[in-house]
Amino acid sequence: MTTSAYQDVIIAGFGGQGVMLIGNLLAQAGMEYGREVSFLPVYGAEMRGGTANCTVVIDVESVGSPLVQTPLSTIVLNEPSLAKFQPRLADGGVQIVNASLIDKALVDSKRRTVYIPANDMALEIGSVKMANMVALGAWLKATDALPLACVQDALNRVVGSHYAKLIPANAKALAAGYNFA
Amino acid sequence: MSDTVARTLIKGNEAVAFGAVDAGCRCYFGYPITPQNEIPETMSRLLPAVSGHYVQAESEVAAASMLLGACAAGVPSMTSSSGCGISLMQEALSYMNGSMLPAVLVNMARGGPGLGDIGPSQGDYFQAVKGGGHGDHRNIVLAPATAQECYDFMFRAFALAFTYANPVMVLGDAIVGQIKEPVRRTPPADALSPAQLEALAAPWRVEGRGKRGPGAAPRLIKSVYLAEGALAARNRLLQDKYEAMRAEARSLSYNVDDADLVVVAYGSIARAVRSTLRALREQGVAVGLFRPVTLYPFPDEALRALAAARPGRRFLVIEQNLGQMVEDVRLALFGAAGCGAEVLWHGLMPGLLANAQMLEEPVRMALAGKEIRS
């Protein structure tokens, strides 16, 4: 496994889809992998039901700008987020698009896209709430940013003890996304 | 700093709270406001565990006055707020300056003026650096840019506050407060121990009648001086102290040696600039960065040294406001002593989220001597 030196990603969706959770997870895993990382959440006054996004930067030197105009990658879990971030994706960048909630006709065919039915796959594993993990798994495969096992292991530090019993299923959801086509 | 201490991923706001408590802070008074709520939240958890006191006050006015009381007793104490909340604290802040008290205040600034928004802004620069309240008061102002610095600078804040018996403000913004980054919880090299802080407060703190033995003169901490000549003497004392504080000016420079253009930026904006310059350097464009770490005292001598080292070199101030720090940069570089270096300015409007890419054009234009003001 080769991992690239610098990576950034904007993760976006509805409040409640777990955008912040996978942003946190990715930053935690990156830190544990020995990288410099930053995680910056952006939301307005709204929370559940509103749109939310976060930016994660992974680097070998200390992170400069924690926000990016043209991200190297995005994970978009709903349609409003695709409309907002697809035009900003860097040339040659990759977007992970939630096929369960986003019409394929809206996806720019010139963009490198992993069109993955994250909600449906998560439901099959046990809960639609893990669609975020499926999407993150697909992102790990598409970017080679961090090893899958590293992110799966980091679940133990990011998921609270109250929900620890859900960690194996979430690890499975990450793997399912990673192994998707 | 030891690499053996594990890194934890925490927000800048949480790092402020951990840094404060690790530095010896034992009292916190505050009132909630976004984007700094993780500071009181974390303090409410940490302080009871070290026999400290956490008080959610009825208002910012009350919180700042409670802070005055705790500082008068010589207890390392702090408050935090943002924007309009910091405005409400200015009366007590002026009193604490006049009373020479070691208060520590954190402003995780939000967009203004007025209620503004909850996004990042550097619009509180003047308020923090030039005083903010009435009378001739000066706060030492530290400007962290990372979560690690949020932790480290709290040690520096308490050390400076007690060394000079003067309020210190830590000025961040919504990005500095909300960003999550790896932080090592080890005291920085310039930290003072809680015992050292206590020793610095011992000569003046009020501690209750009889504590210093029978016959000890009572102590009075005040900011009112009505007798003829008394206020002038007090202001002279303050002026001498403010002059002495100039020795605490700090700054950082990146890749300035061969740069014909040096960008001057602080806090979260300095981070964005650093990425901009990294991208430009990969394209063969040499631009440096000068980052004030103390905003007051302003690091004007270091800035003048940069100008003198390369005559003709230009400076470009980038800040997220309508033009505030640029005045201090121009004052530092004005005239012969400042080499008369040319100073350009680019402002990012509060309400925007700054990133590295949007700063490339203003920097490129400045290289050619052209100013894109905002």
Residue B173's domain comprises: 7-199
Is residue B1 very low, low, confident or very high in pLDDT (cuts 50, 70, 90)?
very low
Taking contacts as CB-CB distances below 8 angstroms, the residues of chain A near B357 are 68-70
CATH number of the domain to which B257 belongs: 3.40.50.920
CATH number of the domain to which B172 belongs: 3.40.50.970
CB-based contact (8 Å) between A65 and chain B? yes
Total number of domains constituting chain B: 2
pLDDT tens digits, one per residue of B158-182: 999 999 999 999 999 999 999 999 9
- Mutation target to probe the B interface, by most B beta carbons within 10 A, among A31, A65, A72 is A65
CB pairs under 8 A between A and B: 64
- DSSP code at position B312: T
CB-based contact (8 Å) between B185 and chain A? no
Output the pLDDT for position B340.
83
pLDDT tens digits, one per residue of A19-48: 999 999 999 999 999 999 999 998 765 555
Nearest Cα neighbor of B154 from B174, B137, B168 is B168
Q: Does B244 reside within a domain? A: no
Q: How many CA atoms lie within 13 A of B299 on its CB side?
A: 22
Q: Does A2 reside within a domain? A: no
Residue A111's domain comprises: 7-178
The pTM assigned to this predicted structure is 0.96
CB-based contact (8 Å) between A74 and chain B? no
Rounded to the nearest angstrom, the minimum Cα separation between B126 and chain A is 24
Total number of domains constituting chain A: 1
CATH number of the domain to which A54 belongs: 3.40.920.10
CB-based contact (8 Å) between A14 and chain B? no
Is residue B217 very low, low, confident or very high in pLDDT (cuts 50, 70, 90)?
confident
Question: Whole-angstrom Cα distance, residue B250 to residue B252?
Answer: 7
- CB neighbours of B2 closer than 8 A, spacing ≥ 6? B184, B186
Q: Does A114 reside within a domain? A: yes
The torsion of the CA quartet B308, B314, B320, B324, rounded to 10 degrees, works out to: 60
Q: Does B288 reside within a domain? A: yes
- DSSP code at position A15: T
CB-based contact (8 Å) between B175 and chain A? yes
Q: Does B230 reside within a domain? A: no
Q: Does A1 reside within a domain? A: no
Output the pLDDT for position A181.
67
Pick the last residue of a domain from B162, B178, B199: B199
